Amino acid sequence: MSDFNVNLVQTILSKGGLSKDVTDKTYDVLQGIKKVLKEYETVLKREVGKSDSRIRIHYKDRSNFEAEIKVADDMLLFVMHSNALVFDHGHPVWKNSYVRLDESRATVGMISIYNFLSDSFKFERRNDTGHLVARIFVNRESHFFIEGKRQLGVLFNDYGTHIANPELLKSIVEQALIFSLEIDVAVPGYDAMKEITVYEAMINTMQSTVSTGKRLGFKFEGEGEPEA
C-alpha cells in the first residue's frame, strides 16, 4: 500500500472514529434526557394535578433525535444534530485547559433546546416562533457544557469536570422548564393584527391567523442577537 493510501486510511480511521464516538455519546445523552422527561411527566402530572387538573403535561418521543415535553402553555423541544461539529477557532472553548490538552475535545455533538407555546402547534399558528433556550455540547468522553441563558449558562459551563449523568440531566431539564415558564407571552403588536385577508378568515380559525410569541433575547458566543 502506498504512503498516500496509508495516510488516507489513517485519516478516515481518526476522523471517522472520532465523529462516531462523539455522536454515539451525544445520542446516549439524549436518551438520558428522554428518560428524565418521561419521569418528569409522571411526577408533574401527579403533583400538579393535586392542585389543578386543568394544567396539561405531556411527554412525546418524536424520533430518534427529538423529544418534547408540554407543560402548561409551554413546550420544550430537544433536538440532537446528527453530525459531529467542531468549534470555530474564535470560540472561547479553545482557551479551556481541558481542550488545550487534547484538541479532539473541541469536536462535539450538539443538543438544542427550543421553547415554543404549545398552542402554536395545537392551532397550527405557523408564523409563531420558537426560541433557543440552550445548547448542550457533548464530547467523546461524555464531558459536556452548555451555552444558555441565566442558570443554564452558569451551572453547566465547567467543561473539564462535568460528565453527563442522570442527576445533572435532571437539573438541566428542570432549569430549562423554569426558565421557559417564567417568560411571559408578549401581546402581539397592534399593526401585526389590524388586517387579515378574506382567505385567512375563510380557511383558518382566528386562532391560527394571529402570530404569538414570547419576548426573549439571547446572546450566544459569536452571535449578535440582543440580550433580554
Mean pLDDT, 10 residues at a time, the chain of 228 residues: 73 86 97 98 95 95 96 94 94 95 96 90 78 94 92 89 95 94 69 63 55 50 40
User: Is the residue at 161 inside a domain?
Assistant: yes
Report pLDDT for 48. Answer: 94
Residue ranges with strand state E in the chain: 57-63, 66-71, 74-80, 85-86, 107-117, 131-138, 144-148, 185-186, 213-214
User: Does residue 5 form part of some domain?
Assistant: no
Residue 42 placed within a domain: yes
C-alpha cell at 19: 465523529
Work out the number of other CB atoms within 10 angstroms of the CB of residue 5: 9
Residue at 110 is within a domain: yes
| Cβ atoms of residues 114 and 133 within 8 Å | yes
Non-local CB neighbours of 94 within 8 Å, separated by 6+ positions: 87, 100, 106
Number of domains in the chain: 1
With cell 487534547, the residue in question is 102
In-domain check, residue 194: yes
Q: β-strand 144-148 against 131-138: which pairing, if any?
A: antiparallel
Do 215 and 227 contact (CB within 8 A), yes or no? no
Structural domain boundaries, residue 53 = 24-214
pLDDT at residue 223 in the model? 43
Helix, strand, coil in percent for the chain, rounding step 5 = 45, 25, 35
Whether 109 is in a domain gets the answer yes
Q: Within 13 Å of residue 205, how many CA atoms lie on the same side as its CB? A: 8
Phi, psi (deg, nearest 5) at residue 201: -65, -30
- Decide if 68 contacts 97 (C-beta within 8 A): no
Q: Where are the alpha helices (DSSP H) in 50-150?
A: 97-100, 118-122
Q: Which pLDDT value is given to residue 167?
A: 95
Is 35 among the domain residues?
yes
Is 57 domain-assigned?
A: yes
Quickly count: other Cβ atoms within 10 Å of residue 73's Cβ. 17
